Structure 1
Amino acid sequence: MFQTLLVAHDFSPSSSRALAHAVDLAARTGAALHLMYVDRTAEGVLFEGGKAPPDDELQDRFEEQCRTSLAPHDRSPADDRVVCHAVRGVSPAPLLVEKAEEIEADLIVTGTEGRRGARRLIVGSVAEEVLRTAPCPALTVRQREAGGASGSADEAPDSADEAPGSEVEQIVAPVDFSDLTEVALRHVAQLAPLYDVPVTLVHVVEDPTMPSVYEVNASAVRARAAEQRAEEALQSLGEPIADTGVPVSYVVHRGQTTSTVVEATGHRDTLTVMGTKGLSGLRRVMLGSVTEAVIRASDGPVLAVPASAQGASPADE
């Protein structure tokens, strides 16, 4: 199971939501929690008067801010299994990935939007770059529309009495039957008992597009047969998950893949688990650009298993 979590934290609403999920997961697994702040400007959230402090003072200020962020979760930088890292650099994503490799992180946790302007962006498009280069899976959490976009330069960090929630009421896993999907489902089998929530496996059979003079009725019959075979295959993939004792359901949709998957996974209390690449060519692409669409639209956390982490899963620990 996860032993080391690396959390990108810039005190924005999205990274505060990500922190809440990371703290919750660390509590469930006993994992060590590493918080990381990447400074790219002398006018960042940890600076006063536009003057950059020395590195040791930057670290001290970050730890103090982390103390405030962690307090609502009954955690502290003084805890043995909490570590804070404040670094300077131009590109946050490579530094996050480098730190993940250094500490042998099992999971990177990041928001998908961060502060812009004077406080700069640390977790936004950075999340997508992390997904493409991370040596491990990444849990992304988008800032909810309620409450507006990222805070302005004058907005204070989240206060101690406004801790974001981290509820997970179900796990949804889009499936395209690729090898990477099977790796993602091994993560589901590990996570479902931790949260003790039902799991839904979803597959989309895309409608064929053809002129009406073609054999439309025959195409519909083939589509229904494909749906039946897909559900049987889903049930086979879901057996290891069902063996953990959590309820597992299987849903096969017919339609357009991206919009259908986004609709199935975008709910606030849903943890989505999916790969970042899928089948291509004649066998269609499901989990590639679809993953990015889900991350951008989902109101709940998304655990993405990148191709670079194809050989690893929590079950291997």
Structure 2
Amino acid sequence: MVEMGGTAPTLVVGHSQDPSSDFALATAVDLARRLGGRLHVVHVIGIEDYPVDSDAADWEQQGEAVIAEQRRRVEARLADAGVPWSYEDRRGDPASELAEVATERRALMIVLGTRGEGVRQALSRLIERRSPMA
């Protein structure tokens, strides 16, 4: 984990390979600047990080390469951001993991991309994943 800065309001940013994540990251940087805050970027590792052919001899290595590239992509985007930031990978349900990180870090907010589906659908998806099964 890359750590910078002191105690300031934390914004948790969910980041994935989806292009909307880059927009969310840029928005979070802008918000962090305005608030004098810091970013904590979280990539929740999923099956989409691994190649389709799970029988490939180097399946695990290919997945790890994609995950490492994901981190490098975020590091490059934040290199000159001018805000303190940190990064971590997690495994699990994205909504649950982001909520857990936000609680652990006492985050002011969670910033997410919408996959082009609109805010209502993105929030609904997040809430549905957090709701206990009936």
Which TM class, normalised by the smaller chain length?
Answer: 0.5 to 0.7
Q: Matches of 2:103 and 2:74 in 1, distance apart?
A: 22
| Residue segments in structure 1 that go unaligned for 5+ positions in a row | 115-124, 135-317
2:85 equivalent in structure 1: 82
State yes or no: 1:22 paired with 2:43.
no
- Output the CA distance in 1 between the equivalents of 2:21 and 2:100: 19
SS at match of 1:63: helix
Which of structures 1 and 2 has the bigger CA Rg?
A: 1
Contact 1:4 1:31 in 2 (8 A): yes
Shift of residue 37, structure 1, vs aligned partner: 0.7
Post-superposition shift, 1:129? Answer: 3.9
1:103 and 1:58 map into 2 onto residues whose CA distance is 26
Structure number with higher relative contact order (C-alpha < 8 Å, ≥ 6 residues apart): 2
Checking the alignment, whether the CA contact within 8 Å between 1:6 and 1:35 is kept in structure 2 is yes
Q: Report the CA distance between 1:30 and its aligned residue.
A: 1.4
Count the aligned residue pairs: 115
Q: Does 1:44 align with 2:49?
A: yes
Structure 2 unaligned spans of 5+: 1-7
1:130 paired residue number: 126
CA distance in 1, matches of 2:65, 2:19: 24
SS state at 2:40 partner:
strand
Which residue in 2 is equivalent to 1:6? 12
CA distance, structure 2, for counterparts of residue 29 and residue 133 of structure 1: 29
Which position in structure 1 is the counterpart of 2:76? 68
Could you say which residue in structure 2 is the equivalent of 1:112? 114
More helix by proportion, 1 or 2? Answer: 2
State the distance in 2 between where 1:29 and 1:87 align. Answer: 26
Identity of aligned residues (%): 34
- 1:4-39 residue CA offsets vs partner (Å, 9 max, x unmatched): 000111132212111111000101111110111111
Counterpart of 2:85 in structure 1: which amino acid?
Answer: V
The residue aligned with 2:103 is 101
Give every structure 1 segment of 4 or more consecutive aligned residues whose post-TM-superposition deviation is greater than 2 Å. Answer: 49-53, 56-63, 68-71, 125-134
Structure 1's 107 and 95: CA in aligned 2 closer, same or farther, altered over 3 A?
same
